[in-house]
Amino acid sequence: MVDRAAWNGRASQRQDPAEGLSIVTPLQPSRAGGSGTFLALLSDRRQWWVKPPNNLQGAKVLVSEFIVSRVGRLIGAPVCENGIVEVPNELAGWEFRPGSALVAGFGHASLAVDSAHESRSLEHRSNDDNARRHVGVYALHDWCWGEDVQWLYSASADERIFSHDHGYYFPPYGAGWNTSELVSKVLEPHFGRWPSAGLDASEIERVAGAIEGVTGADIERILQEVPASWPITDDELETVGYFLEERAPGVAARIRELARTLP
């Protein structure tokens, strides 16, 4: 058991990034979706989807996006590459959606997937390496309390799956997760009800072991990367840290149960 009090003060040293990704040129304003995500060329010369500091769903969406993708990377889940992105002063005022203008500050960026199409169905298991990648989808959904799930499939890579748009993860449902719900649901299963047929058995064991191998220090390092200027409290972030650490053993056990249901 993890003591919630043991997380006190572990998100208190956050700073804004001194260097890193920044927007060079907005390429395409937001056309759909609730947050106002837009396509931009960033300073690494690659195209990314950006949720701006003043996105239309609120600051907690940025926090969820960042944390979920980063903990996904800890266990090898099929998440898109992500990062914190700076909106420079000279781009303030550009309309990322009609009537909504950028403000300077830090947003969240997700690397664009080549020839991607979006679906809310977990499919194409027999394509590419998806028999393995789907296991990470199960794990991330349970561990981070997935809601409003969405996946990208790359048509140019045999429908390879990517988990993206994690803004509504963490309880309760929606963009406004809170500490009381994180605490009350910390041990409650939240497993996706998808069929297990076709999953890779060796990946089930690998992912379960990876979750068990994540330490509180691993999670703390992710929380410390959350920009200090994002309007989120230390207590809220530390409760997320407690939620993820305390929840991990149960998630690993539920992932292993998948192996018993394979045909």
pLDDT at residue 40 is higher than 80: yes
Of 237, 262, 254, 183, nearest to 70 by C-alpha is: 237
pLDDT at residue 180 is higher than 90: yes
Tens-place pLDDT, residues 200-257: 999 999 999 999 999 999 999 999 999 999 999 999 999 999 999 999 999 999 999 9
pLDDT at residue 175 is higher than 90: no
115 burial via Cβ count (<10 Å: 0-12, 13-18, 19+): exposed
pLDDT at residue 15 is higher than 90: yes
**10-20 average pLDDT score:** 95
The token pair at 233 is 């409290």
Name the percent of the chain lying above pLDDT 90. 95
pLDDT at 34: 85
Domain range list for the chain: 18-260
pLDDT at 159: 98
> Does residue 172 have a cis bond before it (omega within 30 degrees)?
yes
pLDDT at residue 32 is higher than 80: no
Distances, alpha carbon 238 to alpha carbons 26, 71, 79, 235, in Å: 34, 15, 23, 5
pLDDT at residue 174 is higher than 90: no
**134-138 average pLDDT score:** 98
- Averaged pLDDT of the chain: 96
Q: Is residue 97 a contact partner of residue 36, using CB atoms and an 8 Å limit?
A: yes
85 burial via Cβ count (<10 Å: 0-12, 13-18, 19+): buried
**126-152 average pLDDT score:** 97
Q: Which residue has the tokens 């939620």?
A: 243
The number of helix segments (H) and strand segments (E) in the chain equals: 6, 10
